[in-house]
Amino acid sequence: MICTKCHRRFSEEHQFCPHDGEKLAAGLDIKRIRSKPTERAGEVIAGRYQVRGLLGKGGMAQVFLALDKQTGEPVALKLLDAGSVKQPELRARFLLEAKAAAQITHPAIVRILDVGLRDDGTPWLATEFLFGESLGEWLRRERVMAPPTAIAVLRPIALALGAAHRAGVIHRDVKPDNVLLLGERNAFHDVKLVDFGFARLVGEKGMTQAGVAVGTIEYMAPEQAVSDAPDARTDVYALGVLMFRLLSGRLPFQGRTEPETLAHHLITPAPSPALGSAGLAPGLEAILLRALRKRPDNRYPSMETLVDDLDRVAAGHPPRIALQPPNAPDAYSPVTPFAITAAKFLYKKLGLNPTVI
């Protein structure tokens, strides 16, 4: 049973929503879900998913509202756009999203329901339909999130990423637009991590060529900035940037150009967020600064350890790991020959001597 107002789900023994008193329904009425007109309306994918409207567009795909004719439930149907279909790497990356997300079982990760290819070779995937707005939309409207609410948002994201890491999946694109706040506007009740389009499966040969920085520049860890191999601590760094953005209303690094922003991620120590967030608990600042350390060994070793510190701060205690001194000087050392060359280029972008590498 589902509440048609807040979209919380309950067992069949409930008749009314305990939170807002709304009468529960057996399912969502797709006619009451807002979407934009599309020329694809009425098209049926795989003999099962009937397109009803457009929900949004991404860099290489469109997301449609569709009716699952077998279950009668609305779903989100993601199709690679026509221009990207002709590029083998983008087709492979699209299918990797389904493979990566399907390997993870966690309540805070969007569920992949089905995946396939159309007759013309266009890949598609169907996911559960989620009612809400992205954290990016929320931040563009509200700018700053109160620390208790921020912890409530960060905790499930971190736990979802921890589940992904245990399944051998590195997300590589943790950012506000890939976090969905479920429920009514300004009254969200749950959080979901979405979009594994840039994910990397540990042990699987990567598709990224040397020199191609994968992810979103404002949230890239130093190792991403120079195209070194990512690991779980790469997502820890991105979550630190997201945490900084939530609590301060700004990004820790914003260069005049994209290479300059990458250079700051590689070289410049993270600033204190306190100026943009009055009353920020010292424990929270210590947590995000630990997550934003340049050297991966100096960050949190796992999402679970980060969550443990968040829980301690939420309970009124000082964080445990965040206050520990770094194990080594906090400078990133590039690994591959290409990364060394890239790092030298980025050092020069900030007017620094690259011979220190």
Residues 6+ apart with CB under 8 A from 233: 221, 296, 299, 300, 301
Average pLDDT over every residue of 67-75: 95
Average pLDDT over every residue of 121-145: 92
Average pLDDT over every residue of 175-182: 95
Domains 35-128 and 132-356 share a fold: no
Instruction: Specify the higher pLDDT residue, 16 or 259.
Output: 259
Domain ranges of the chain: 1-32, 35-128, 132-356
Q: Which of 20, 81, 173, 228 is catalytic?
A: 173
> Which is the CATH superfamily of the domain at 132-356?
Transferase(Phosphotransferase) domain 1 (1.10.510.10)
Cβ(169)–Cβ(100) below 8 Å: yes
Q: Which of these, 224, 215, 225, lies nearest to 260 by C-alpha position?
A: 225
Q: What count of other Cβ atoms lies within 10 Å of the Cβ of residue 354?
A: 14
pLDDT at 201: 65
Average pLDDT over every residue of 225-244: 96
The count of C-alpha atoms lying within 13 angstroms of the C-alpha of 229, restricted to the half-sphere facing its C-beta, is: 10
Average pLDDT over every residue of 182-192: 88
- The answer to whether residue 173 is catalytic is yes
Average pLDDT over every residue of 47-68: 91
pLDDT at 213: 57
pTM of this prediction? 0.88
Is the pLDDT at 211 greater than 50? The verdict is no
Average pLDDT over every residue of 93-100: 74
Residue 222's H or E segment, with its range, is helix 222-225
Distances (CA, A) of 252 to 249, 263, 356: 10, 12, 24
Tell me phi and psi for residue 101, to 5 degrees. -65, -35
Packing angle, helices 232-248 and 135-142, rounded to 10 = 30
Is the pLDDT at 276 greater than 70? The verdict is no
Please state which CATH class domain 35-128 belongs to: alpha beta
Q: Whole-number mean pLDDT of the chain?
A: 88
